[in-house]
Structure 1
Amino acid sequence: MSEDAFDSLYRRWYLTMVTKAYLVAGGRRDVAEDAVQEAFIQCWRRMNDPAGPPVEHWGRWLEVTAVREALRHPKKEVAFDLGHHDTAVNFIDLAVEVQLKDVYRRACAEMAGLRERPRRAMALRCIAGLSSAEVAQEMGITQSTVRVYLAEARRALEPLRVELRQLGIVTEGEGERRG
């Protein structure tokens, strides 16, 4: 793949990936940025590996990789720094900006407060978009255990789900129980 194609991919997906990695990292900016940088390094290598398996959707691949990288770092308490997060989203209305930052801050705090396994399951399933089977395989657990962890995480995050959808962090149906 050409450098121009890679640059285009970077411009298209960077902010989305930083936002998701930041949430998974519980507000740790350094972890989010490192995770996204590592995802793009892996992307460049994968794009230039003719023997590697083809990737159908680079955006999804990058998001999953960035979330995995963010999850590799140990969880620790950090203060959410609103000033450093300004560059992750381009806001038009100051009132909307304040509201969205508050929702995002609360979501980061809730994610950081989850136990490790439910946080990992939620990040892989609802933020990175892996299937329950893929999450189970990656975590070395059964799909029913994935569902238990997701239920625990959902209970903690449910009050924020609608607001998270408005932020574009989760899409319609993500994080909801499927029938």
Structure 2
Amino acid sequence: MTDRNPSSNLLEAELLTRAASGDQAAARDLIDRLGPKLLAFCLRLTGGNRAEAEDIMQETFLRLWRKAAEWDAGGTAQMSTWLGRVAANLAIDRKRRAARSAPLDDSVDIADETPGVEARMIAEDRQAALGAALDALPDRQRQAVVLRHIEGYSNPDIAAMMGTGVEAVESLVARGKRRLATLLNGLKTEDERGARDG
């Protein structure tokens, strides 16, 4: 992600002020500017669940509208960074609530053991394998890796979004990458084993 220039920050702040005072066109312009990247981020946070990602994005923008009166256009916080942090926190909160309310299921799912199906799926769609590996990471590691290596944010921006220090971000990214490599190597090994056995 390229660094945003000060004039872009001022334009976004002006659009926010106008949107908060009821200017629908300004609200649409601001969402058009910041929404696509925020939605892509929310989709990654929710494992591709579009409805949940859209809910998080909508709640994030609602919180921005509520903060409009106190937004500091000359401050150091970029609007995109603030939106990312709020969205990440909302995603974590939703995941925790879902885990608390999930019913206990005593049934056992039987995996499809059809030879070669998983191998073909992995070969055809590496992105799906990466998504599954990302989903297996702890929340904060996944957020740090996605923000750094998929969304392209700098470590200081990620630190601001996640409410932590730059060193902690570096550690989260490094641990997340190591875990991803382990998970993806495990999938590769299973793929190779399936190819030999098939």
What TM-score do the two structures reach when normalised by structure 1? 0.55
Corresponding residue for residue 41 of structure 1 = 62
User: Counterparts in 2 of 1:54-133, with a 5 A limit?
Assistant: 54=73, 57-74=78-95, 102=125, 104-123=127-146, 127=151, 129=153, 131=156
Corresponding residue for residue 134 of structure 1 = 159
Give the direction of change, closer, same or farther, for the CA distance of 1:137–1:18 in structure 2 (3 Å limit). Answer: closer
Is 2:57 the partner of 1:53? no
Q: Give how far 1:37 is off.
A: 0.6
Give the direction of change, closer, same or farther, for the CA distance of 1:20–1:125 in structure 2 (3 Å limit). Answer: same
Checking the alignment, whether the CA contact within 8 Å between 2:88 and 2:143 is kept in structure 1 is no
Q: Give how far 1:123 is off.
A: 4.6
Identical counterparts, % of pairs: 23
Distance in structure 2 (CA, Å) of the matches to 1:135 and 1:147: 13
Checking the alignment, whether the CA contact within 8 Å between 1:39 and 1:62 is kept in structure 2 is yes
Distance in structure 2 (CA, Å) of the matches to 1:9 and 1:136: 19
Q: Give how far 1:66 is off.
A: 2.3
Checking the alignment, whether the CA contact within 8 Å between 1:114 and 1:153 is kept in structure 2 is yes
User: Counterparts in 2 of 1:140-159, with a 5 A limit?
Assistant: 144-157=167-180
Structure 1: unaligned runs, 5 residues or longer: 77-100, 159-179
| 1:74 partner letter | K
Report the aligned-residue RMSD: 3.7
Q: Give how far 1:134 is off.
A: 2.9
- Structure (1 or 2) with the greater helix fraction: 2
- Deviating more after overlay: 123-132 vs 149-158: 123-132
Distance in structure 2 (CA, Å) of the matches to 1:111 and 1:32: 16
Checking the alignment, whether the CA contact within 8 Å between 2:56 and 2:87 is kept in structure 1 is yes
Q: Give how far 1:149 is off.
A: 2.4
Q: Give how far 1:133 is off.
A: 8.3
Give the direction of change, closer, same or farther, for the CA distance of 1:43–1:137 in structure 2 (3 Å limit). Answer: closer
For residues 1-29 of structure 1, the C-alpha deviation after alignment (integer angstroms, 9 at most, x for no partner) is 22222210112222221111111222222
Distance in structure 2 (CA, Å) of the matches to 1:136 and 1:44: 18
Distance in structure 1 (CA, Å) of the matches to 2:125 and 2:89: 25
State the aligned residue count: 132
What TM-score do the two structures reach when normalised by structure 2? 0.50
Checking the alignment, whether the CA contact within 8 Å between 1:35 and 1:69 is kept in structure 2 is yes
Give the direction of change, closer, same or farther, for the CA distance of 1:64–1:104 in structure 2 (3 Å limit). Answer: farther
Q: Give how far 1:41 is off.
A: 0.3
Checking the alignment, whether the CA contact within 8 Å between 2:47 and 2:131 is kept in structure 1 is yes
